[in-house]
Amino acid sequence: GERELIAAYVSRLNDTEFCSSSHGAFAAAQLAGGQDLVEAVLADPGTAPVSGRLRALLGVAAEVQGAARPVSDKVIAAARAEGADDTDLHDTVLIAA
């Protein structure tokens, strides 16, 4: 569910509505918050009702999507501070790249 939500968010940042909708539908089916949660994340992940860990991973994904350079130590540290491990970070970067 979280991976699909991250993919929906990155797809929205890429302005690919079909991909965003497809990933969003899978995320909505898999996550307790359903479509309301997906819409909240797509509108503003900073205020969406998600865990600090997921919010930090969305920040990592946004940085990967928005720049053709390495992810900053700042967003990695923020994600780790919220409990993200190497697998979470690896998967997020692969989804967003």
Q: What is the pLDDT of residue 41?
A: 98
Measure the CA–CA gap between 97 and 38, rounded to whole angstroms. Answer: 20
Evaluate if residue 54 carries a pLDDT over 70.
yes
Tell me, yes or no, if the pTM score tops 0.85. Answer: no
Evaluate if residue 68 carries a pLDDT over 70.
no
What secondary structure letter does DSSP report for 84? Answer: -
Measure the CA–CA gap between 20 and 84, rounded to whole angstroms. Answer: 24
CATH homologous superfamily of domain 2-96? AhpD-like (1.20.1290.10)
Contact 57, 92 (CB under 8 A): yes
Contact 14, 66 (CB under 8 A): no
For residues 6-28, give the mean pLDDT. Answer: 96
